[in-house]
Structure 1
Amino acid sequence: MLHSLISNSNLKISEVEFRFDELQNKFKNLNIQYAFGSEDMTRVIKKIKYDSIANTFVGFPTPLAHRIPIKEYYKTDSFDILKLWFSSIEKSSLLNVHMIQPLQSSSQNVIPSPFLLAAYGTNTTTTADDILQRWWYIFNQFSQRKIRIIGFSTDADAKYLRAMRLISGFFDSSPNLQLHQHPLAFKIQTTSQWP
Structure 2
Amino acid sequence: MTNIINNSIKEDRGYRYDSIVRQFASALYILGGRIAYEFVRINVSAFLPNIQSIQSSTASSENYLTEGHFDFNRVGDYFNSKKTILAFCAEDCTATVSKIVYDTQTDTFIGFPLPLDQNGLPIAKLYSTDSFTCLENWYLNDPIAKSLGAHLIQPLSSSFENTSPYLLAVYGTNNKFKSPDVIARWGYIYRQCKAKGVRVIGYSSDCDSRY
Q: Which TM-score tier does this pair reach, normalised by the shorter chain?
A: 0.7 to 0.9
1:131–1:47 distance in 2 versus 1, CA, 3 Å: same
After superposing on structure 2, the runs of 4+ consecutive aligned residues of structure 1 that deviate more than 3 Å are 5-11
Matched, 1:143 2:169: no
Matches within 5 A, 1:29-108: 29-66=81-118, 67-104=120-157, 106=158, 108=159
Q: 1:2 Cα shift?
A: 9.0
If you compute each CA radius of gyration, which structure gives the higher value, 1 or 2? Answer: 2
2:78 counterpart (23, 26, 38): 26
Secondary structure at 1:155 match in 2: coil
1:133 counterpart (184, 197, 201): 184
Q: Distance in 1 between matches of 2:29 and 2:84?
A: 27
The corresponding residue for 2:160 is 109
Which 5+ residue runs of structure 1 have no aligned equivalent?
161-195
Question: Is the contact made by 2:75 and 2:193 (CA closer than 8 Å) also made in structure 1?
Answer: no
CA RMSD between the two structures: 2.0
Identity %: 39
Query: Which amino acid is 2:128 matched to?
Result: K
Which 5+ residue runs of structure 2 have no aligned equivalent?
1-26, 32-53
TM-score scaled by length of structure 2: 0.70
The corresponding residue for 2:17 is none
Post-superposition CA distance 1:6-27 (Å, at most 9, x none): 9686441110111111111111
Query: Which amino acid is 1:84 matched to?
Result: N
Query: Which amino acid is 2:165 matched to?
Result: P
The corresponding residue for 1:119 is 170
Secondary structure at 1:158 match in 2: coil
Query: Which amino acid is 2:151 matched to?
Result: H
Post-superposition CA distance 1:128-184 (Å, at most 9, x none): 111111111111100111110000001112222xxxxxxxxxxxxxxxxxxxxxxxx
Q: Distance in 2 between matches of 1:3 and 1:51?
A: 17
